[in-house]
A and B are shown apart, each in its own frame.
Chain A
Amino acid sequence: MQDKITRILKAIADPTRREIFHALVVASTALPITQISNLFDISRQGVTKHIKTLEEAGLIHISNKGRERFCYANAEPLMEVNKWLKFYEKFWDNAIGNLESYLDDKA
């Protein structure tokens, strides 16, 4: 099974998927797939595929209303990736700080 963070990073690695996600974040409301497709210069099928990838990463939730499917953005998974990167950011900052004091103190 492909793990969660990898799925998130893959989902946002594609510029079109980032734009779809961004459009939904900006809309800050659920949008029907038809309306999303109209924003992009690719086939509805292509958009649907991108949306599926985003949904698998947890970045989009889909609900059905009548015959139309509505999508809305969920930015929460991005926090997880961010948290993990931040941990190592701080870790290496500390390490380099340690290295510097060590070198400065070394005769």
Chain B
Amino acid sequence: MKDVIIKEHIFNHSIDKVWDAISKEVEISNWFIKADFKAEKGYSYSFKSEGENCTEINGVVKEANPYTLIYTWVVQNTNVETLVKWMLKETAEGTSLYLEHSGISNYSGDTAVQMFTGFNGGWDNCVSELSKYLMEEVHAG
């Protein structure tokens, strides 16, 4: 069994548009989680959702060169370091994304269970609430 999650997706958008969305603070805050983020190697970032009971994510940017973005991913109060890697490639259809989240086995069984219960009503919603909000904004406008 692997402890790596890999997601691949094709976006019907230009590579620079996708790159900006995943690397710029304002944009990350829009579709993902409210961020304090700079796409600079060594920058200590944080993802802090404004929703209730949302767990904070912290980490350090390891690499940020178009079109590769790598940062460590530490969930608040866990001290367990995992790694998130975003890689973009230009394709005929637009842009292909390769997303890799590794080191998940570093979470201990107890932490896993604890975080799990905490996230079920919390963090998970912290992210999806944002998209609902966005949708409403768009349709209202």
Q: Which residues of A contact B (CB under 8 A)?
A: 3-6, 9, 12, 78, 80-85, 87-106
Contact residues, B102-129 vs A (CB, 8 A): 104-110, 112-113, 116, 119, 124, 127-128
Question: Which of B27, B97, B112 interacts with A80 by CB under 8 Å?
Answer: B112
CB of B128 within 8 A of CB of A92, answer no
Chain B interface SS verdict (over half): helix
Which residues of A are found within 8 Å of B1, using beta-carbon distances? 9, 12, 78, 81-82, 85
Task: Determine how close the nearest CB of chain B comes to the CB of A9; give it in whole angstroms.
Answer: 5
Given contacts A3-B108, A80-B112, A94-B124, 7 further A-B contacts (CB under 8 A): A5-B3, A5-B108, A94-B127, A102-B30, A103-B11, A104-B13, A105-B138
Chain B contributes a number of interface residues (CB within 8 A of A) equal to: 38
User: How many cross-chain pairs have Cβ atoms below 8 Å apart between A and B?
Assistant: 99
Question: Which of A4, A85, A87 interacts with B3 by CB under 8 Å?
Answer: A85
Which of the listed residues B5, B99, B124, B138 has the most CB atoms from chain A within 10 Å of its own CB?
B5
Q: Bound state CA distance, A93 and B7, in angstroms?
A: 8
CB of B134 within 8 A of CB of A95, answer no
CB of B109 within 8 A of CB of A5, answer yes
CB of B112 within 8 A of CB of A83, answer yes
Known: A84-B112, A106-B17. A5 touches B105 (CB 8 A): yes
Which residues of B are found within 8 Å of A85, using beta-carbon distances? 1, 3, 5, 104
Which residues of B are found within 8 Å of A83, using beta-carbon distances? 112, 116
Q: Bound state CA distance, A12 and B101, in angstroms?
A: 20
CB of B112 within 8 A of CB of A105, answer no
Chain A to chain B contacts (Cβ below 8 Å), 16 pairs: A4-B109, A5-B105, A5-B108, A85-B5, A88-B5, A90-B124, A92-B99, A96-B7, A96-B9, A98-B134, A99-B11, A99-B18, A100-B11, A102-B27, A102-B31, A105-B134
